[in-house]
Amino acid sequence: MSDVYRLNDLDISAKSLPEFTPPPRFGETKFESYKPQDPSQADALQKTQSFLNASPDVQGGRFPWQKKTVLGKGLYLDGGFGVGKTHLLASAYSAYEGSKVYMSFSELVHAIGVLGKEKAQLELGNNRLYCIDEFELDDPGNTLIVKTFLNYVFEQGGFVLTTSNTPPAAQGQGRFNASDFKREIQSIAERFETLKLEGPDYRKREKVAELLSTGDLEHLERTEPASTKVDAHWSELFTLLQSNHPIRYAHLLKQMDALYLRNAEPISNQNDAIRFVHFIDKLYDLKIGFRLSGDIALDDLFDDSYKNSAYAKKHYRCLSRISELLEER
């Protein structure tokens, strides 16, 4: 027998920092299960593996009076959605035996914000391997915060592996006045070797998944085996998303095994669209069951104007993830 809860039954208060390990969807992901679909993916697989065994650069120290410093390295996996970037990232984390952390870019920014610069460096800045998913400079504040933190990590000889849908030099474009921060963005990009992963969306289905009718959603809600189910109306979810910082979404989602979301409608403003994208990203990573009903086609969830914006890739990626989720049994 499973329990069905409403969103209001859940606790969304802020909690401590996350554990900095891969999320459930990628908890068991290994290099061995990565099957390159394109030569660029075979190259990325090989280079990610050798990155783990690379030595830091050594500067100075040629003469006895010269100070020797080590400098860590970065590898940046850039590419469209579903080409396996996160698969490689989580595999690297799993294969590496030294000190390591795995986090999303937004978790990193949040952690530095909560701890403060010095404490973040002290408590989080001295690992050997950093796996950072979805690198994304979307405002000047996080650009400076992240630049300072990564500089510290590199100076400690740390290695940073990261994924993104945007090449390093194009970070920030369309999001804020990136040209004012060119120097900062450039200085972050400098320590990274960038690999561009090409190839098809591995999740691509024969056809885009369809939304359920209310009757089918209710049937699945009654019969599916998940133990803690949450039933929510579309508008109820958006009220909750609007009144909470996205960093809390994971905490909310960890309290359920499956979400039955009713009456999807086209999302009528870009801020809500971005909140929803964050929410689905977390739900996907946490491997929460997801069922969605509505009278629209999945493709019509986001307004066409957003799909042409600086956030376009996020919206398409979100649709790709929802398609995969809806077909999961």
Positions touching ligand ATP (CB under 6 A) are 29, 33-37, 41, 79, 81-87, 163, 165, 202-203, 317
According to the binding rule CB under 5 A, does residue 143 interact with Mg ion? no
- CA 58 to CA 26: how far, in whole Å? 34
Q: Does residue 165 belong to the site contacting Mg ion (CB under 5 A)?
A: no
Least Å from the CB of residue 83 to Mg ion: 9
90 vs 28: CA distance, rounded Å:
8
Which three-class secondary structure state does DSSP give residue 75? strand
Radius of gyration from C-alpha coordinates of the chain: 21
Q: How far is the CB of 86 from Mg ion (least distance, A)?
A: 3
CB of 150 to Mg ion, least distance (A): 20
Is residue 320 involved in binding Mg ion (CB under 5 A)? no
* Phi/psi at 31 (5° precision): -55, -35
Q: Among 191, 178, 179, 185, which Cα is nearest to 152's?
A: 191
Least distance to Mg ion, CB of residue 288, Å = 17
**Least distance in angstroms from the C-beta of 165 to Mg ion:** 8
Residues 6+ apart with CB under 8 A from 65: none
Would you call 323 helix, strand, or coil by DSSP?
Answer: helix
Q: How far is the CB of 29 from ligand ATP (least distance, A)?
A: 6
29 binds Mg ion (CB under 5 A): no
Residue number, 182 or 205, with CB nearest to ligand ATP: 205
Number of H helices, E strands in the chain: 12, 11
Q: Among the residues of the chain, which ranges form H helices? A: 39-52, 85-95, 105-115, 117-124, 140-155, 182-190, 214-223, 234-242, 249-253, 270-285, 304-307, 312-327
CB of 40 to ligand ATP, least distance (A): 11
Partner whose footprint covers residue 191, from Mg ion, ligand ATP, none (CB < 5 to 8 Å by kind): none
DSSP notation for 216-249 = HHHHHHHHS--SEEEEEEHHHHHHHHHTS-GGGH
Single-letter amino acid, residue 186? Q
Query: Of ligand ATP, Mg ion, none, which one sits near residue 168, judging by CB under 5 to 8 A according to partner kind?
Result: none
d(CA 324, CA 319): 9
Q: Which is nearer to Mg ion, 226 or 280 (CB)?
A: 280
Please, which residue, 154 or 302, has the CB nearer to ligand ATP? 302
- The answer to whether 29 and 94 have CB atoms below 8 angstroms apart is yes
Q: Which residue is nearest to Mg ion (CB)?
A: 86
Report in angstroms how near the CB of residue 21 gets to ligand ATP at its nearest: 17
Tell me: does residue 86 bind Mg ion (CB under 5 A). yes
When the beta carbons of 262 and 314 are compared against Mg ion, the nearer one is: 314
Our finding on whether 94 is near Mg ion (CB under 5 A) is: no
Residue among 134 and 184 whose Cβ is closer to Mg ion: 134
The interface partner of residue 293, options being Mg ion, ligand ATP, none and the CB cut-off 5 to 8 Å by kind, is: none
Q: What is the largest CA-CA distance in the chain?
A: 78
- Please identify the residue of the shown chain whose CB is closest to the bound ligand ATP: 84
Please tell me whether residue 323 binds Mg ion under the rule CB under 5 A: no
User: Cβ closer to Mg ion: 86 or 171?
Assistant: 86
Query: Which residues make up the interface to Mg ion (CB under 5 A)?
Result: 85-86
